[in-house]
Amino acid sequence: MRSSISQLSLHKLEVFCTVAELGSVSHAAERLGIAQPVVSAHLKALSEKVGTQLTRRNGRSIALTEDGQRVLKWAREVTFRTLEIERELIESRSGLRGKAVIGASLSIGSYVLPSVVAEFQLKHPNADIAVLTGTPAFVMDAVQDGRCDFAFLILDPKRDLSGFEADALRAERLLLLKDPRTPLPSSVTAEMLCGLPFVTAQTGTPRRELEEIALRKYGLSRNHVTIEFGTAEAMKQGVRSGMGVAFLFENAVIDELRYGVLEVVETPGLDFQIPSYLLRRKRKQLNRYQTQLMHELTRALQETKAVPAT
């Protein structure tokens, strides 16, 4: 006898995944273009099919139970793998080989990848490329469940890489920056660096952890963090407001350095670099177009260097 789970419709799983993502039945209904009672009915039917409660009220939002978290992981894999094979079969039948979804961590996706993708698309005008940008954890999840075909990213140092293929891509250089108007020194020793007021990424984020790892390489740690921000743009504004110095990726501050908005604080004898990677899911089958795209973008990213300030 077939189990109840094997008889679940793909649509119910998609509805469940959307509710889990948005934490709201009404928001899920709006995104999916269906009535709110229909979403609620799908959730109820799904819970009955699997034989356990999947959601619970958490104030005004919807949260997943422990069983719901397990079902979500499975549902995402089923839905994304289904969409993946549908896309590949459509391309095969029609002869199209021009669709790909690329993942990218925030710094690469915001400052490095756009120009490289644009150059590729100029050479291949029939290319259909989407770039999904987010935190390393978000991008790795997207690669794992099939939302992305491959990704270029700075890895979360705490993330288990089993199930992935990670190839070293390039070194992303961290520069120490200050506002030119501040009286902070333009060159510091290792000891002086530790005492500077710092604008940093938020505690517990991969971005912050990678900075700490780069400092520990030289036996250093910071004594004075003035403020924490969630994005590179916010960190730039913090530095420009005179809150302190910040480590920012070289490719993220090309314009600011060119126009003198920010200034490099030299750190003789200290070179802070963070490796980035090409990431794929193990046993992920790319079609010929996606493989060509991956190879060309990888080569272009390895050859691309930050433009020095003039």
Could you read off the pLDDT of 137-188 as tens digits, one per residue? 899 999 988 889 999 999 888 888 888 999 999 999 999 999 999 999 999 9
CB distance 179 to 242 below 8 Å? yes
**To which CATH superfamily is domain 93-170+275-303 assigned?**
Periplasmic binding protein-like II (3.40.190.10)
Fold for domain 5-86? Arc Repressor Mutant, subunit A (1.10.10)
Q: Confidence band (pLDDT; 50, 70, 90) for 79? A: confident
Mean pLDDT across 56-64: 84
Average pLDDT, the chain: 86
Give the integer Cα–Cα distance in Å for 167 and 149: 15
Give the integer Cα–Cα distance in Å for 88 and 99: 9
5-86 and 172-273 have identical folds: no
Q: Confidence band (pLDDT; 50, 70, 90) for 93? A: low
Give the strand pairing for 99-105 and 128-134: parallel
Q: What angle do CA 148, 151, 157 make, to 5 degrees?
A: 120
CATH 3.40.190.10 fits 172-273, yes or no: yes
Q: Confidence band (pLDDT; 50, 70, 90) for 91? A: low
- Give the distance, in angstroms, between the CA of residue 172 and the centroid of all CA atoms in the same chain: 16
The pLDDT assigned to 121 comes to: 85
Least confident of 46-50, 63-67, 185-189: 46-50
Three-class secondary structure of residue 224 per DSSP: strand
Mean pLDDT across 43-59: 85
With tokens 């189990």, the residue in question is: 3
Domain boundaries, the chain: 5-86, 93-170+275-303, 172-273
Q: Nearest CA to 246 among 237, 254, 255?
A: 237
Whether the per-residue pLDDT at 2 is higher than 50: the answer is no
**283: burial class by Cβ within 10 Å (0-12, 13-18, 19+)?**
exposed
Give the integer Cα–Cα distance in Å for 94 and 103: 26
Whether the per-residue pLDDT at 5 is higher than 60: the answer is no
Give the integer Cα–Cα distance in Å for 151 and 6: 32
Q: Confidence band (pLDDT; 50, 70, 90) for 128? A: confident
Give the integer Cα–Cα distance in Å for 270 and 230: 25
What the block records as the tokens of 224 is: 């004075």
The pLDDT assigned to 309 comes to: 39
pTM of the model: 0.67
Percentage, residues of the chain above pLDDT 90: 44
Q: Confidence band (pLDDT; 50, 70, 90) for 43? A: confident
